[in-house]
Amino acid sequence: MWRFRGTDVAAARALVEAAFDADVTLFDTADIYGPDNDEEFGAAEALLGRVFAEAPGLREKMVLASKGGIRMGVPYDSSAAYLAEAIDASLTRLRCEKIDLYQIHRPDMLTHPQEVARALDDARTAGKITAIGVSNHTPAQTAALAEFITVPVVSHQPEFSALTTTPLFDGLFDQAMQRGMAVLAWSPLGGGRLADPTDERSRAVVALLDEKAEEAGVDRTAAAYSWIMAHPARPIPIVGTQNVSRIATIPDAYKPQWTREQWYAVLQASMGERLP
């Protein structure tokens, strides 16, 4: 929902319903989504809230995820007081009583993880959030939070694509598998670089994705998503398209089946070197 924007509620509702038609059930937003679209802080949540007001049944059909902890000009604040305020503000904008998955958007280095845990536990006890996750956190930062919280941290949200492979090597996927955490992969198309490769490395990756796409009878986007999904941590690509016809093609990601040789060939092309 990063690019979920505007004032046309009917068009916004059409996007949500198109996602349901494509068997998408997880909707991931954040309070900071808005300024990047030249809109107000919280604009994406507020637009979704207007959709819920028009069609309340849609809320019950989805897993609603949001994020907080970024403040304009600060930039990060996960203090107990601010998180309590941010969660209440998100609920008001979303016009709902509970957020299914609440994630700390970026780690706040000036807040002790025990304080973050206390704020999240309080919100969960009050029935305002159900599950707790982290976004853009290292495995060590996640482990520190998990040490103080009374329920499991259930999800990671890292950047991951065929061009950004850090979670494979920094222990994040290993931690996710060890703890049974979901992985929500943001920018799964490499920030647009897979659509428009401009350097030798991206062109090498794209060539291999295109080979797989042709083999499976899908487009490059589906091949890129499927490469992500092939990892045993079972990453879930966070698809950002705001186009109804593109949303309809999301299930094509299940069609390509990667052999080990093919999958590792993409990784090595991304690395620019062979694995030892």
Closest CA to 191 of 23, 18, 2: 2
First-to-final CA distance of the chain:
39
184, containing H or E segment = strand 182-185
Distance (Å) of CA 140 to CA 116, 136, 165, 175, 268: 15, 12, 18, 9, 27
Residue 51 · residue 16 · CB < 8 Å: yes
Distance (Å) of CA 90 to CA 5, 190, 204: 16, 28, 42
Task: Return the sign of the alpha-carbon dihedral for residues 207, 208, 211, 212.
Answer: negative
Pairing mode, strands 236-237 and 182-185: parallel
CA distance 221 to 245: 13
Residue 32 · residue 260 · CB < 8 Å: no
Active-site residue flag, 33: yes
Give the residue ranges of DSSP H helices in the chain: 9-21, 43-54, 57-61, 80-94, 113-125, 139-148, 172-179, 200-216, 220-229, 244-247, 260-271
Tokens of 267: 């990784």
Tokens of 32: 């900071």
Q: Which of 33, 82, 102, 225 is catalytic?
A: 33
Active site members: 33
